Amino acid sequence: MQQQYRHDGVDLRRGLRLSLTALLTLFLLALLLLAAARFQQRGALADVLAEGADLTEATARRADAADAFHASMTLVAGVLGLGALALWTAWFRRVRLNAEALAPGSHRFGSGWAVGAWFTPVVNLWFPKQIADDIWRAGAPAGPQGPPRGLLNSWWVCGVLAGAVNAVTTVAYALAEARTHRHGHLQEDVRRLRALAGAGAFGYLLCAVAGVLALLVIRQLTGMQEQRALESLPYGSLPYEAQVYGPAPTLPPGPYGNPYNNPYAGPPGNPYGGGPPGY
């Protein structure tokens, strides 16, 4: 059963973070399969270009199978992505509230923006990053020994770039595909589709890289907050998962008392036994 624990307003429960990590990992696998589907479409389109007007039934079937594979993986990735987004916003708001408890009054945005900033057009290009910077600053150790923010910056730049590439290539591919269906398999349209399929695969791979960086950000932010919160706790009050060896045993009073409350030990006295009578 999950240990419920809170210290000075900092929520140290790990269930939400573990669920987010698991679902985000599944979403990353779906992104890799989407990239594989785009590469499969690219290969099928290369066959269509090679055959030209003499398109065989086998090549047409391969192209249809590649399109069906991409469509099915798009559905799976969409469901997993929506679930990961819901858990991400819940986790992001939690670490924002934890950061407020660790460093009150040092944040540029209210806790409500930890959720709303992701869904507000235009400002979602920089508000979430500023909130993440404040969370990082609140959880980092004092002084110059705090961890560098290179991970946070890399995650954000890669995420924005991946989102832009993926959006542009997806829309462009859909428009080019509709044009191809209207005009027939013209060489120019098929070449455009083939190039966009390769660009789309690159966009999915870039999204997967951003997802891996997001997993590292989750680990880093949560780890810093746990360390800051637990630094002020005495040993006996640590949560169960932090007490690796359990509380230290207590000895009864007396220099030769019953060690570690051993029920089979003799009465207190000389640990080497009594001497001859008279001693």
100-114, pLDDT tens digit by residue? 988 888 889 888 899
Instruction: Report the percentage of the chain scoring pLDDT > 90.
Output: 52
Q: Which residue has the tokens 């060896």?
A: 245
Of 255, 231, 256, 258, residue with least CA distance to 242: 231
Confidence (pTM): 0.77
Q: Where are the beta strands (DSSP E) in the chain?
A: 6-7, 10-11
Q: Could you tell me which residues are beta bridge partners of residue 7?
A: 10
Buried b (16+ CB within 10 A) or exposed e, 266-276: eeeeeeeeeee
Rounded to 5°, angle at Cα 82 from 79 and 87: 125
Instruction: State the chain's mean pLDDT as an integer.
Output: 81
258-272, pLDDT tens digit by residue? 444 444 444 444 444
Tell me how crowded residue 181 is: count the other CB atoms within 10 A of its CB: 10
Mean pLDDT of 146-151: 74
Q: Which residue has the tokens 């946070």?
A: 152
Query: Hey, is 17 helix, strand or coil?
Result: helix
- The pLDDT of residue 16 is above 80: yes
Contact assessment for residue 141 and residue 226, using Cβ atoms and an 8 Å cutoff: no
What is the pLDDT at residue 56?
Answer: 82
- The pLDDT of residue 244 is above 60: no
- pLDDT band of 158, cuts 50, 70, 90: very high
Contact assessment for residue 214 and residue 155, using Cβ atoms and an 8 Å cutoff: yes
- pLDDT band of 179, cuts 50, 70, 90: confident
Where along the chain do its domains lie?
9-102+109-236
Tokens of 105: 């009054």
- In the Cβ-directed half-sphere of 201, how many Cα atoms lie within 13 Å? 15
What is the pLDDT at residue 25?
Answer: 97
Q: Which residues contact 51 (CB under 8 A, 6 or more apart)?
A: 59
Tokens of 88: 């991400």
- The pLDDT of residue 243 is above 50: no
* Radius of gyration in angstroms for the set of CA atoms belonging to the chain, rounded to a whole number: 30
**Residue that wins the pLDDT comparison between 48 and 27:** 27
- The pLDDT of residue 279 is above 60: no
